[in-house]
Structure 1
Amino acid sequence: MNDDTALGLLREARTRFTQRQIADYVGKDIKTVRRWEQGETPCPQLLGPALRALLAQAPCHFSGNGPAFTFIDLFAGVGGIRLGFEAHGGQCVFTSEWDSYAQKTYAENFGDSHPLTGDITKIEARDIPDHDVLLAGFPCQPFSIAGVSKKNALGRAHGFACDTQGTLFFDVCRIIEEKRPRAFLLENVKNLMSHDKGRTWDVIKCSLIELGYDISPRVVDGAHFVPQHRERILIVGFRKEDDIRFDWDAVDLPPKGVQVMRDILHRTDGTEPVLPWDGDRFFSHDARKVQDKYTLTPKLWQYLQDYAAKHRAKGNGFGFGLAFPDSVARTLSARYYKDGSEILVYQGEGINPRRLTPRECARLMGFPDTFRIPVSDMRAYKQFGNSVVMPVMREVARVMAPLVTGQAEQPLPEHQAAA
């Protein structure tokens, strides 16, 4: 390839992929890709890495005869799981997300042909399109086992509809029962297995098995892909009758610490990309610095230092967390907007630290710079704090995709294939 510009990469991609496939991969609509290709608007240079990654995809994931597989996106948030599965040829045919602000971000980035549905509890399972894979980052809720225990004592049968009624996991189960997808991926917090003294996990596990699926759970730390310790449980399931074994050993987890904070922080050396959809909202390109509003006020910084000192005196580890260029950060939480205390960026001796900007939060979760942030900073912090590490989902999707589409042989992890 002679032309390594973004436009050159786009034109090479068009020799192998459709405009729809490229648009889905980079998170844009077809009209935008068409304008780039025809030279009506400049193709952003920051798309270069994404287009190179697309060109590295196995052709089988994009056969040109429609999507490799279909999926639905439940409790979708801002679409982090979706991005991972679209990267391997999946097409989303149904989305459910109740939060109106998350809906706004989702719609801005995906612009679906299908309507974005709100409260999943009000949707009949039979009205959901057929699909190959169900994706759900469902909330963790306690289950009441009093009735279950009583039925056990009486020797009466009971099932997921009884055990899970009143929880959002019930809605996942009723859709699985009705639509019988070939596979699913469920995501939740690390302590799901210990939640409510293990009762929550017992109900989830038994319910999924009862529905006729073989399940494979694993806790994965996002630090394999991004500079953030973020452990989440992923539950992969395949229909028993298909006799498919999901192998977590096939999931390629790079060493932790390869990605450090320097890789996601705004660059002050003049190389920070200019994103038309961000402008100078987060970063002043003229001054080559993060906007001053993200630096902690003297009052807040003093409060956080006093709070940490008080807990250190008690022998506790509570307090703020400073992030340095070569470090890996703590877990980004949905409460980050309050004071940013879990991840404060060190700005030098005698200078108050600062919060991450929402763009840096997006990068910390593995979202590409093409991902747009149309909501306020407070809403953006909540959305990314509640989201998933997208490259984790993309890697799990890489292993799941050939199993879903019926390919007999799983692809090698990328670092092995290149060896």
Structure 2
Amino acid sequence: MGGTTCIDLFAGIGGIRRGFETIGAKCVFTSEWNKYCNETYAANYPRDKHQIIGDITKVDAKDIPDHDVLLAGFPCQPFSIAGVSKNLSLGREHGFKHATQGTLFFDVARIIHEKQPDAFLLENVKNLVSHDKGNTFKAIYHTLHDELGYDVKYKIIDAQHFVPQHRERIYIVGFKNTTDFTFEDVDLPIRGPKLSTILHPEDGSQPAEEPYTVGENAVVNEKYILTPHLWQYLQDYKERHRAKGNGFGYGLVTGDDIARTLSARYGKDGSEILISRGEGNIPRRLTPRECARLMGYPDSFKIPVSDCQAYRQFGNSVAVPVIRTIAKAMKPYL
């Protein structure tokens, strides 16, 4: 197993790769266009012997190293399967080009086609299944299974089995050869942790990590407390929608709760996950370190970027423990 290699496409800050490293996989190629993600990635994987490649659309698949597993959290974009199977003039093995040209999934498909990895894991938002009335996912499945010939399984998994956050994502696993892999072998704990497990205790039991926590008791920096103006705005906004019968508005939680999905826009106002500071006190947003924990990253994970970029990166990331568990289930077939 120690010889297993992987490539990390649309890598973000390396969450999918991190999950596979726990089963001994070695990353031999990384592609990510965002310079701030690259800064975080490089800080946490300093031993990589390869440079991070920016725009994958400009990379010839032949120039990508051979690898056993392709990993990708590709963006969700619209395309249709309509007419693909009838387009025999393109040749069956190239039919996916007709269906997916102009999307970033096309780059995943062309690399799989050229490099023929033993397996792949793709991750995307839950809505991929229903996107464009289901046509997007049909085209993806058709491409991976019918055109590229992989044995494909998929499942929507909520990360709350592992972290205190509702986060439903679709995971698509493919093997070049037929295997006995099943998502039934992916071990999902019945009861996941509560938010208290990722919040700063603020009692001195953990060392201060500036700028997130300060002082002898490592209390959360006051800058993460909402301004009175923003707090009033969020309360008014929620009340307006409540009066209309809508459920829109902020999510106020305590350490005994499970959070809503952390999004890339969290840094804007933090409204989806506001941490209660007790009756009569203005709540606060999560610190970037707490966001890292909420996604299953260890405290040793370096955060070299601004809070704004860190919120975006963790909001766009995968829940690492979910990937780790899927990788463990895939391991016997690699």
- TM-score, reference length from structure 1: 0.76
What is residue 193 of structure 2 aligned with on the other side?
Answer: 259
Q: Kindly report which structure 2 residues correspond to 1:127-276, keeping only aligned pairs within 5 A, or say none.
A: 127-144=63-80, 148-149=82-83, 152=86, 159-209=95-145, 210-239=147-176, 242-256=177-191, 258-274=192-208
Deviation at 1:288, TM superposition (A): 3.3
1:91 to 9, 21, 26: 26
CA drift at 1:337: 0.6
Q: Are the structure 2 counterparts of residues 150 and 91 from structure 1 closer, same or farther at C-alpha, using a change threshold of 3 Å?
A: closer
Contact residue 68 and residue 117 of structure 2 kept, 8 A? yes
Give the match for residue 73 of structure 1. Answer: 8
2:203 and 2:219 in contact (8 A); partners too: no
Distance in structure 2 (CA, Å) of the matches to 1:342 and 1:151:
43
When structure 1 is superposed on structure 2, of 265-274 and 192-201 the one drifting more is 265-274
TM-superposed deviation, 1:156: 5.8
Structure 2 CA distance, aligned partners of 1:136 and 1:253?
A: 22
Within the candidate set 97, 101, 114, 2:36 is matched to: 101
In structure 1, distance between residues paired with 2:71 and 2:133: 26
245-254 vs 170-179, greater mean Cα deviation: 245-254
Aligned to 1:149, what secondary structure does the other structure show? coil
Taking the aligned partners of 1:123 and 1:252, their CA distance within structure 2 comes to 36
Question: Is 2:237 the counterpart of 1:300?
Answer: no
- 1:316 matches 2:252: no
Distance of 2:168 and 2:317 partners within structure 1: 12
After TM superposition, the structure 1 = structure 2 runs for residues 361-400 of structure 1, keeping only pairs within 5 Å, are 361-400=291-330
CA contact (8 A) 2:204 2:217 kept: no
Cα distance per residue 1:247-299 (max 9 Å; x no partner): 1111110014x30000000011211245xxxx421001425310000000000
**How far has the Cα of 1:193 moved from its partner?**
0.9
2:53 corresponds to 1:123: no
Give the distance between the partners of 2:270 and 2:312, measured in 1 at CA. 11
For the Cα contact (< 8 Å) 1:138–1:186, is it kept in 2? yes
Gaps of 5+ in 2: none
Would you say the 8 A contact 1:272–1:285 is kept in 2?
no
> 1:404-415 residue pairs with structure 2 within 5 A?
404=334
Give 2:171's aligned amino acid: L
CA distance in 2, matches of 1:99, 1:298: 34
Q: Secondary structure at the residue paired with 2:242?
A: helix
Cα distance per residue 1:326-350 (max 9 Å; x no partner): 1000000000010000000000111
Query: Which secondary structure state, in structure 1, belongs to the residue aligned with residue 141 of structure 2?
Result: helix
Q: Report the residue type matching 1:237 in the other structure.
A: G
CA RMSD of aligned residues (A): 1.5
Q: Secondary structure at the match of 1:265?
A: coil
Amino acid at match of 2:164: P
Aligned partners of 2:152 and 2:173 also within 8 Å: yes
Contact 2:6-2:71 within 8 A present in 1 as well: yes
Question: Aligned partners of 2:89, 2:26: CA distance in 1, in Å?
Answer: 42
1:245 CA drift (Å): 2.5
Are 2:275 and 1:345 aligned? Answer: yes
Alignment partners' CA distance in 1, 2:240 and 2:265: 21
- CA pair 150-139 structure 1, distance change in 2 beyond 3 A: closer
Q: Is the CA contact 2:254–2:276 (under 8 Å) kept in the aligned structure 1? A: yes
Cα distance in 2 for partners of 1:74, 1:401 equals 20
In the superposition, the TM-score normalised over structure 2's length comes to 0.95
1:244, distance to aligned residue in structure 2 (A): 1.1
1:397, distance to aligned residue in structure 2 (A): 0.6
CA contact (8 A) 2:207 2:218 kept: no
The alpha-carbon deviation at position 72 of structure 1 amounts to 0.2
- For the pair shown, the structure with the greater C-alpha radius of gyration is 1
Contact in 2 for aligned 1:332/1:385 (Cα 8 Å):
yes
Deviations 1:299-332 (A, max 9, x none): 0000000000000001000000011111000000
Go from structure 1 to structure 2 and tell me whether the alpha carbon gap of 1:74 and 1:234 turns closer, same or farther (over 3 Å shift).
same
Question: Residue 150 of structure 1: CA displacement?
Answer: 8.6
The answer to whether the 8 Å contact 2:163/2:294 transfers is yes
